Amino acid sequence: MSNSIVLFGSPGSGKGTQAKLLKRCLQVPHISTGDMLRERIAQGTELGIRVAAKMHAGVLVLDEVVNGMVSARLGERDAADGFILDGYPRTTPQAHFLSDWLDERGIREVVIHLAVDYNSIIARLTGRRQCPRCGTLYNIVSRPPKVRDDDREEVIRERLNAYDRQTRPVLDYYRTAGRRLLEVDASSDPPEKVFDKICQAIDVHDCAQDAR
């Protein structure tokens, strides 16, 4: 069993929820490149300003910038016994860089792909709303909030298409490179059931109950 996990999932796949459950279970850091980039933007550093411009334009941040952030973070003490990578790698050059970095240190990662049906995702995301300030969850029927532009179906479909263009080639790389890739169906089951599937796949016993 490996505590070094690369977690893949399209928008709306429940990737963030599973990362939190895995963190609680495995007692290793959840490393989100999105969080790291937003932190640098909030700090107003020169790097943060450049990153903000790219993210606002919908352009991926340069591979070398993200690679540098991730390798530095993985080198920190709390990641010595494992990690959960979320949102990285996003490109095949990033995947090659990560594989080389791990191989040099004798670390064998497990890539977990939360496979979902896109129609299920669209129904899930268009019916769910969350306040960006306080985090309050709403339902369009029982607690309807103001609908944002990024909740519209056409916007969600474009996000999913972008995920396909950017990330599917990374999964193809892992499939052909001999890395350990596990496909977990996350289309319709509740988060707890999906987590059970992940625990079984990575051979972690009695973990699902403890993580809840």
First and final C-alpha spacing in the chain: 20
Q: Which two tokens stand for residue 68?
A: 């540098």
Catalytic site residue from 23, 40, 90, 197: 90
Q: Could you tell me which of 125, 115, 118, 145 has the C-alpha nearest to residue 133?
A: 145
Catalytic site residue from 128, 143, 152, 180: 128
Catalytic site residue from 15, 73, 129, 197: 15
- Non-local (6+) Cβ contacts of 19 within 8 A are 7, 30, 32, 84, 86
- Non-local (6+) Cβ contacts of 1 within 8 A are 202, 203, 204
Report yes or no: 98 and 70 within 8 Å, Cβ to Cβ. Answer: yes
193 is catalytic: no
Catalytic site residue from 38, 54, 159, 179: 159
148 is catalytic: yes
Report yes or no: 17 and 123 within 8 Å, Cβ to Cβ. Answer: no
Residue with tokens 């916007």: 155
128 is catalytic: yes
In 63-208, DSSP assigns E strands to 83-86, 110-115, 128-130, 137-139, 180-185
143 is catalytic: no
Catalytic site residue from 148, 157, 168, 212: 148
Q: Provide the β-strand partners of residue 115.
A: 185
Q: Which amino acid is at 38?
A: R
90 is catalytic: yes
The distance of Cα 175 from the centroid of its chain, to the nearest Å, equals 18
Q: Which residues are catalytic?
A: 15, 90, 128, 148, 159
